[in-house]
Amino acid sequence: MNYKEEMRRLREELNGHGYRYYVEDAPIISDFEYDRLLRRLEDLEGQHPEEITPDSPTQRVGGAPLSEFAPVEHPVALESLQDVFDGGEVREFLARVSETLPNAAYSVEPKVDGLSVALEYRDGVLVRGATRGDGRIGEDVTENLRTIRSIPMTLPDKLPRLIVRGEVYMSRQVFEEINARREIEGKPLMANPRNAAAGSLRQLDPKVAAQRRLDIAVFNLQLAEGRDFSTHTEAMDYLATQRFKVIPHTRLCAPKDILAQIEHLGEERMKFPFDIDGAVVKLDHLADRAVLGSTAKCPRWAIAYKYPPEKKPSVLKNIVVQVGRTGVLTPKAELEPVRLAGTTVTYATLHNQDFITEKDIRIGDTVIVQKAGEIIPEIVEVLRDKRPDGTVPYHLPDRCPECGAPVVRDEDGVALRCSGAECPAQRLRNLTHFASRNAMDIDGLGPAVLRQLVENDLVKTAADLYTLRAEDIAGLDRMGDKSAQNAVNAIAASRKNDLWRLINALGIRQVGDKLAKVLASHFRTLDALMASSEQELTEINDVGPVTAQFIRRWLDQPQSRDLIAKLKAAGVNTNCKEEILDSTFSGMTFVLTGTLEKFTRDEAGAMIEQRGGKTAGSVSKKTAYVVAGENAGSKLRKAQELGIPILTEDAFLQML
């Protein structure tokens, strides 16, 4: 078999396995075997890049980042639906339709809460995908849509042109997994699956979209050249044969059964893998749809019934304060069990102290509870007339319930946060940050390994990492002798890191890698930084009063001083080794954009910092210069608009 034939066979085989796994949920080979076949195809494509085809499963990982999304005009408008909110409005819709079409047939399906897109195929090959936008003009997000494994890259039938409409969503399971990881990494949590899906699909870097594991439910045929269909359900059955993941739980209904089916979907919605915010009722016969047509805003042949959030009363038995992995104190209401949206609720979020104070929520109150976005239970009202005697206003503690360290308010004045450097609740997050690439850069100590070290009580603080032996790590899941030894070697090597890495690794609020470099360069030793006053700190250009206060508070904590003492005892370097060449760029801010040929952005940034300057990620009026490489995008345009001087690589080298 020649390489072309082998590549064709591998593409077909892998796409078939992908369909069985992501659409039918019935894989017939192991992940290991799938990965082995994919690796073979990747090797062949590396040897013969001219043979890479758009339908290759290797093309789903995401290409180069985009500078912007191009506009797309939809050949068939992606109309929005008229919302209705009760049974009376549903009956009014049915009555209007029956005046013109007394024998109409209807389909009822769940309304997936995601982001609407159109997929266009030419001769059976996916050529473009676009967001709904305003219904007429959307955005080209083809590269991001290619990363969704349930979207077929090619179709069995090679129709000249086919356009389908679907709803891109993030499953509840994926949403919870991503938020759990973001919490460990200290990143803001995503609000709900719909926002997460929309944000993921509009990432300029397709590789980020690929990591979000989005899915799709196709719910309409927009255009099909070369095929005719008489009904919507017939079209959906056809799309299923073309390997589309069509919307499930759809049912043909007589008018008298529609409200019962809407209610049934509402009762079952928590069993679906995706969020739904309603049910869609639409005419099944396509000719009937053409008879009714559309208004300027929406079709006359369909409505979207929106489910109201279910609300029920319960008694607030207690308020429990949890300390998250980022140190934020989160109050939770412990409730008398109440059934909501298909699940039994015993806890509800109270958000923060301001929320509790605003609603005057007290232990013993009877409260009204609902599920926000069908996910998170929350208290929406206090029934004051049922408040028992003797209740008192509730205030969060001023000491961390986990470690006893003082609690401080965030700069935004909302969240309360534990200031303890060795707080058990923050252990995994602190260790993950300590070992991360921009901190101590300890290769082999990712979140999964660190979680096991914490769970096995092998590590309590960052200093404990330096006492680990290879045999301690080798016994963890998915680790072996070689990986363990490499990790221990990486830990040992991190002792020699420059001071700025250690300062960043300590996790002081508002101190990232850039400010850590400024502090290391200014004070030269960790001891000098520890001895500095708030006044000294504010005299540094990049340190404002709030940041100075955060630094000083952290350094003054007994837990912080204990951690630093242990790190010193472990032999971790606490002196600045970076040589300051001169002050050529003192007070200047540079922005690097595009692809640099003679050095990486990190190398260019280091050269700027060695000369007293700093780098920033965005262009502003305070930017001194923009260094632009190949394929520079929006930052270059912003610099041109603001009149910021733009340097080529050669001009930048001359300045150096």
- State whether residue 319 is helix, strand or coil: strand
**d(C-alpha 93, C-alpha 291), whole Å:** 15
4, 111, 297, 566: the catalytic one is 111
**Angle ∠(410,411,413) on CA atoms, nearest 5:** 70
Length of the chain: 656
Question: Contact at 8 Å (CB) between 429 and 402?
Answer: no
- The pair of structure tokens assigned to 124 is 């059976």
Instruction: Output the CA torsion 603→608→614→616 (10° steps).
Output: -50
Cα separation, 51 vs 174, in Å, equals 34
Cβ atoms of 219 and 247 closer than 8 Å: yes
Q: Give the HSE-up count for residue 276: Cα atoms under 13 Å, Cβ half-sphere.
A: 28
Give the count of beta carbons closer than 10 Å to the beta carbon of residue 550. 21
Strand order in the sheet with 302-306: 82-84, 302-306, 276-283, 106-112, 251-253
Give the integer Cα–Cα distance in Å for 418 and 59. Answer: 45
CA 510 to chain centre: 22
Residues 6+ apart with CB under 8 A from 172: 193, 273, 274, 275, 375
The verdict on whether 482 is a catalytic residue reads no
Residue 261 Rama label (left phi>0; alpha psi -120 to 50; beta): alpha
Tokens found for residue 401? 């319930």
DSSP 102-137: TT--EEEEEEE-SEEEEEEEETTEEEEEEE-TTSSE
Q: Which residues are catalytic?
A: 111
